[in-house]
Amino acid sequence: EAGVTQFPSHSVIEKGQTVTLRCDPISGHDNLYWYRRVMGKEIKFLLHFVKESKQDESGMPNNRFLAERTGGTYSTLKVQPAELEDSGVYFCASSQERGSHGYTFGSGTRLTVV
Amino acid sequence: DAKTTQPTSMDCAEGRAANLPCNHSTISGNEYVYWYRQIHSQGPQYIIHGLKNNETNEMASLIITEDRKSSTLILPHATLRDTAVYYCIVGGGGTSYGKLTFGQGTILTVHP
């Protein structure tokens, strides 16, 4: 079984530019989550999709962040425009059942804004 | 904010059992205890979870006290590859359903 795949693994962009991160969950997993760790801080929840619908987006930091999940399959997280404080590692996770049982995380995308 | 308290770091000799404690005195009746770990530069990895009873799987054992205010993750025979940050997380019920709240975790170092 393929795991959760994230692309790109690394991205370096200039402040003010746009970056789009992609996550492919495990096939058949309706639940998809985005988390991030910014420098020196804890891993923080961003949002949760159930299929194509946003179940909980309480962790999204501001309106520069836009998450989509077209057709309930892969998801994208766009940052526009990127700021220096957006630098960090962005993780995607998926699960078959709602709730925290046995999430599978991807390896993350390391975003550096310069 | 995380609802758990863990030691910042611990050491363990290779081949010995690693016992990682966690306090969660404010846990509510419908919340589970989850353990995840993060090995350097990888995404968090699920280890085990439990509600009231002790649990065991191929990776570890989870011992939950009767009052559910604390728990211990046991890695029975630690290897060098078990060196990681271990997170004890309480959730899975109520408004936190579907959301993991990570704390600082315990840095476990397994040495030869």
CA pair distance A23, A103, nearest whole angstrom? 14
Q: In the predicted model, is pLDDT for residue B82 greater than 60?
A: yes
What residues of chain A lie within 8 A of the CB of B103, using their CB? 42
The reported pLDDT for the residue numbered B95 is 46
Handedness of CA B83, B88, B92, B97 (dihedral sign): negative
β-pair partners for B20 = B73
Q: Which of A31, A43, A55 lies at the smallest CB-CB distance from B44? A: A43
Q: Which of B30, B15, B46 is nearest to A96 (CA)?
A: B46
DSSP single-letter state for residue B5: B
- Find the range with the poorest average confidence among A78-82, A98-102, B4-8, B11-15: A98-102
The reported pLDDT for the residue numbered A3 is 92
What residues of chain B lie within 8 A of the CB of A107, using their CB? 41-43
Contact A48 B100 (CB under 8 A): no
The reported pLDDT for the residue numbered B11 is 97
The token duo for A42 is 């804890």
The reported pLDDT for the residue numbered B3 is 85
Q: Rg (Cα) of chain A, in Å, rounded?
A: 13
The token duo for A36 is 């991030």
The reported pLDDT for the residue numbered B94 is 47
Q: Which of A42, A99, A105 lies at the smallest CB-CB distance from B97? A: A99
C-alpha dist (Å) from residue B91 to A3, A12, A64, B8, B23: 24, 34, 28, 21, 14
B91-101 pLDDT tens trace:
865 445 567 88
What residues of chain B lie within 8 A of the CB of A59, using their CB? 99
- Chain B's closest residue to A94, CA to CA, is B98
B11-42 pLDDT tens trace:
999 999 999 999 999 888 888 899 999 998 79
Partner B contacted by A65 (CB < 8 A): no
